[in-house]
A and B are shown apart, each in its own frame.
Chain A
């Protein structure tokens, strides 16, 4: 993005949209960096009036300490060496003698401690992102530039220790290796601009820093699932031709790329990414291949498996139905351009990747691309449960459809539902569920951490996180409700439920528990119809008798009880407030 493009993007930001305020904390003149952060962030969240305000020039720690009560949604910290001690940079400082260098190291440690303490005291719910020093040191060390001086290495160690503490505290650290690839270290520093204007970044570096900060502040939603082909994708060779024992993925056969792909899929599966198979193949041969002990992806990590000779778009359709997720949350990997085109045409929005068999450089890029598309900031217990719960959900639906008496089936399911009620504290896992759920979502509204914190901190606010298990297995956390009581009415602002939990009457139970626990006569829904919340709309039509057409409507207790079916769940209610970070 050129600077002019960035400036014009900033000028397009609608002033009347909901504000999204960021404080840019840096010790230098933020000018162009501020423009680039604003432009890139607005490109990532065009429904918000993005405003990036700079901190106090030349004093990072003081700026951070002054933000303890700030109302900004995010704080971006662009740390550079002179912020730790002016002698480490070029604009200030009065000497680089050996004793001064040693003193600079000591003062850098003190300053980093102060900066960390101030960051830890930033308001709960504020998204805090930090970049580690990106620019070169002044030539203050005794070694030639190609040799690391002990003091220089100790400074790097300080930064490394600092970054670990920052990450452990739940703040996001810009990955220096990733930045090295987009902004070459030798092309970042503008000496003249630093001395004349106080802006040390070249324009290209300011652009890349702005983009990286925007990615950290408003990360893209990770993909939820991967559907993969088998022959010449999961392994090298065509199993039906060479036999299941002769397909290869190891180093000795020079087909290690396929083995690495298997390893990545296995790791992603463990991290909650769903992995399914769509292959034109003989099921018997595929079964034999999956029995091989050297396969690096276990069959237990894959579900569903669509192996036959019919069109892959149909396989993808059935897999999406089983997962109950939309195509735009899914990656489809196949070595055949024709198959990719067929699936892409039938499922607009699906992310198609051609497996680059035989091209190691492209394979290396593909592995990294998959990691970037599926990477998530934190893992939860529910991530490990996801695949099993999908598998068990399929078993549940199959058993339910085969039952002559659904009522009997639901009663015998031994369903246990836990409601965790909290007030005021940020629950990152609850927020993640709110922000990734589309189908059973009251209004589709997404929240930043700060937005969420503001919502749940309001007087009378309530948050309920719902977990479920039955005789088929655990689904883990499957629903989040947020609202506020006003007299005898509960205003429900947020209600999401995982599609894994459909058809178990959990949605009815949620409302009944809210009516009972808060002893209210009405629940007022902040409903907004979206192109994707059809299942939620169907439910509302059912419980309101078709009256849920307006964007905000009230459901009286009596009306709900008249339509509520019999509920067989065992209920556990827990009062809990989880610490923010």
Chain B
């Protein structure tokens, strides 16, 4: 099982893959509201990158609520710690 801080690091890398113009330092504070590039297509792309990285199948309904880095991190910690 991955450690929470490891999940954080891997999640930052996922966000950097989808949003290469945002620095690693700035990523933990991003949200859909504050990031114009985080549109519906980027959201789908992010879901796929997360599925690749964490070997998960994400439910598109749940994903709709994950509109910030913190929320995605919280969701992943819950899923991976339950596993």
- Using a CB–CB cutoff of 8 Å, the interface residues on chain A facing chain B are 2-5, 7-8, 11, 29, 31-32, 35, 192-193, 196-197, 199, 203
Chain A to chain B contacts (Cβ below 8 Å), 10 pairs: A4-B14, A4-B52, A4-B53, A7-B49, A11-B20, A31-B41, A31-B44, A32-B44, A32-B45, A203-B48
Contacts of B40 on A, CB cut-off 8 Å? 197
Check B60 against A192 for contact (C-beta < 8 Å). yes
Contacts of A192 on B, CB cut-off 8 Å? 60
B61 to chain A, nearest CB (A): 9
Contacts of A11 on B, CB cut-off 8 Å? 17, 20
> Does B18 touch A at the CB level, under 8 Å?
yes
What 1/0 flags go to B12-28 for Cβ under 8 Å of A?
Answer: 00100110100000000
Check B49 against A4 for contact (C-beta < 8 Å). yes
B44 to chain A, nearest CB (A): 6
Chain B contact-residue range equals 10 to 19
> Which single residue of chain B is at the shortest CB-CB distance from A34?
B41
Contacts of B48 on A, CB cut-off 8 Å? 3-4, 32, 203
Check A2 against B52 for contact (C-beta < 8 Å). yes
A3 to chain B, nearest CB (A): 4
Contacts of A32 on B, CB cut-off 8 Å? 44-45, 48
Contacts of B44 on A, CB cut-off 8 Å? 31-32, 197, 199
A190 to chain B, nearest CB (A): 11
B75 to chain A, nearest CB (A): 18
> Which single residue of chain B is at the shortest CB-CB distance from A3?
B48
B60 to chain A, nearest CB (A): 5
B55 to chain A, nearest CB (A): 11
Check A196 against B45 for contact (C-beta < 8 Å). no
The 3 closest A-B pairs by CB, nearest first: A4-B52, A3-B48, A2-B52
Residues of B19-63 at the interface with A, using a CB-CB cut-off of 8 Å, are 20, 40-41, 44-45, 48-49, 51-53, 60
Complex CA gap A11/B52 in Å reads 17
* A4 touches which of B17, B41, B60 (Cβ 8 Å): B17
> Which single residue of chain A is at the shortest CB-CB distance from B60?
A196
> Which single residue of chain B is at the shortest CB-CB distance from A195?
B60
> Which single residue of chain A is at the shortest CB-CB distance from B13?
A4
Contacts of B14 on A, CB cut-off 8 Å? 4
* B49 touches which of A3, A29, A31, A199 (Cβ 8 Å): A3
Contacts of A29 on B, CB cut-off 8 Å? 41
B18 to chain A, nearest CB (A): 7
Complex CA gap A58/B49 in Å reads 26
Complex CA gap A196/B60 in Å reads 8
Check A7 against B17 for contact (C-beta < 8 Å). yes
Check A8 against B17 for contact (C-beta < 8 Å). yes
Complex CA gap A192/B44 in Å reads 13
Complex CA gap A32/B51 in Å reads 14
